[in-house]
Structure 1
Amino acid sequence: MVLEYNNSIPLYVQLKAKIEEKILNGTYTVKIPSEREIIDEFYVSRSTVRQAIKELVDEGVLSRRPGKGTFISLKPIDDWLGNLSSTSETIGKMGMEPGAKLLKAEESALSPHLQQITGLTSAFHIRRIRYADHIPIGIENSYYPVNLGKKLSQFNLNNITLYDVLELKLEVHTKEAEQVIRAGTVLRQDAALLDIPTKSTMLNVDRKLLDLNDNFVEFEQAYYRADMYSFKINLAKKNNRP
């Protein structure tokens, strides 16, 4: 597999992306191949391989074990499209420990864009960093009707799963969500919070949640690390035969 030598993107950056891709798609599982194997596969120099691996080690994606090789540190979180579940549930299903850190919980005026989505002029804004095995994986901005948000703020927002509180404590029973996923890059202030480079690729997820009576419950704008978060969906071929 040859990299694009005439591309303006440095070879080590291209190689780094290829290694990350193989981690996400499951080609590399427990550890990555040796330097010699990577050199033979991608036709690059040893210095290029070492620079790419150094970047991944610095970002926490890989870890070196002297005498044993270079191992994968991060386990991608698979979120099944089509199922309405919380981030904590998704992380838990992957055998990782979910966590959260509260950054903001307050009533705030909404931009025209958010007003159009929520039907509200102001909302209660809850902003949290999300963790998997104590590694920061994303930032979630959740907007609720003010009265509902104030009720949520009475709980310890550093430890709870918001959906569990809505359903079990506040008896707000949700029915469906409309979700949009886009690729993007991390904002500078969020990169510092997540301890990742400022140009890191992110998955931007917008989700609007409704209750059983089609009333607005929550709008969430979330940003997840692309090296730790992936989405799966099962597809079936449509049978057009009579």
Structure 2
Amino acid sequence: MRRVGQTVETARELKHVVVREHVRKLVQGAAPGTPAPSERELVSQFGVARMTVRQALDALVVEGLLERMPGRGTFVARPRRQQTQVASFSEAVARRGQVAETVTLLARVEQAGPGVARALEVEAGSAIVHWRRLRRAGGEAICVQDVYLAPDVLPGVLESVMPESLYEALCLRGLRPTWSEDSIQADLASDEERELLDFAAGELAPVLRVSRRAVHGERVVEVSRSAYRSDRFTLYLQLGPSS
């Protein structure tokens, strides 16, 4: 029986706190990526409204203890203050429990245009490697990516089977990117991108365009331009205080 003076709102807040602290105890100390109890499980266990459960989980997401992955569920988050390395597409999808697939669309030596040359810090017209890839995960087309490399970054890369992961190949050369500059812009897919990314005819085709300049020490090792299907992929950024 509700005590005198206790409002409906207060009762709901108490239920929210009970659910929140229950989930906190369950996941405290668990490895990042460990699944949290589902909303359905918690609703059944505590006999509360889904809104109450969602409020409890929202609080833990805001704290940074949990993170939501669209279409997959809620999981234990990585520590927010943990220093992370520059992530490749393969690593990003691996964190979602999937395996990256690569389809090489083009791989050849070209002359660097002014923009790419400036980003790679080479002379305009210099020979560079242009590698265009379709990236897939979970059986779905996720992104079309154009990568530009100076020839001495991965010598002989065009003379054999192209690597499945660029960053693994760079790591073997001791050139794993240590930092990067990324720019992100919302846009609509081109006709070619629409086809490659499996947009239906007449369907609105929003993409996120990500331009990256990746550096190892002081050496530019990769310049890339990617178009991601925004309904199939979420980009996560970790930000911290300036030094």
Q: Same fold (TM over 0.5)?
A: yes
After TM superposition, the score normalised by the length of structure 2 is 0.59
The offset of 1:155, in angstroms, is 4.7
The residue aligned with 1:99 is 101
Per-residue CA deviations over 1:136-155 (Å, capped at 9, x if unaligned) read 11111100002334433345
Asked if the contact 2:143/2:229 (under 8 Å) is kept, the reply is yes
User: Quick check: 1:141–1:220 contact (8 Å CA) kept in 2?
Assistant: yes
1:150-170 deviation digits (Å, cap 9, x = unpaired): 43334532x6111011112x2
> Equivalents in 1 of 2:189, 2:166: separation in Å?
24
Deviation, structure 1 residue 230: 1.2
Does the 8 Å CA contact 2:199/2:205 hold for their aligned counterparts? yes
2-structure distance, mates of 1:75, 1:110? 41
Match of 1:232 among 206, 231, 236: 236
What TM-score, normalized by structure 1, do the two folds share? 0.59
Residues 178 and 208, structure 1, Cα contact 8 Å, conserved in 2: yes
Segments of 5+ residues of structure 1 without an aligned counterpart are 1-28, 31-72
CA RMSD of aligned residues (A): 3.0
Check conservation: 1:74, 1:228, Cα contact below 8 A.
no
Deviation at 1:171, TM superposition (A): 2.5
Within 5 Å, which residues of 2 pair with 1:140-219? 140-157=145-162, 160-168=164-172, 170-197=173-200, 199-212=204-217, 214-219=218-223
User: Is 1:125 aligned with 2:130?
Assistant: yes
**Number of aligned positions between the proteins:** 163
Do 1:174 and 1:210's aligned partners in 2 also have CA atoms closer than 8 Å?
Answer: yes
- 1:176-217 CA-to-partner distances (Å, cap 9, x unmatched) read 1111111111111111111114740001001101112x0111
Q: Distance in 1 between matches of 2:115 and 2:166?
A: 24
CA distance, structure 1, for counterparts of residue 116 and residue 152 of structure 2: 18
**Percent identity over paired residues:** 21
Over 3 Å counting, the alpha-carbon distance change for 1:183 and 1:128 in structure 2 is: same
1:104-128 CA-to-partner distances (Å, cap 9, x unmatched) read 1111122222222222223110110
Unaligned runs of 5+ residues in structure 2 are 1-38, 41-69, 74-79
Residue of structure 1 equivalent to 2:224: 220
**Deviation at 1:87?**
0.4
- Residues 99 and 110 (structure 1 numbering): CA distance in 2 closer, same or farther, change over 3 Å? same
Alpha-carbon distance change, 236 to 147 in structure 1, aligned in 2, over 3 angstroms = closer
Q: Hey, what's the Cα distance between the residues in 1 that align with 2:164 and 2:205?
A: 28
Residues 89, 236 of structure 1: alpha-carbon distance in 2 compared, 3 angstrom cutoff: closer
- 8 Å contact 1:82–1:233 — kept in the other structure? no
Q: Residue 134 of structure 1 aligns to which amino acid in structure 2?
A: G
Query: Contact 2:167–2:176 (CA<8 Å) still a contact in 1?
Result: no
* Bigger Rg over Cα: 2
- Structure 1 residue 83 displacement after superposition: 4.2
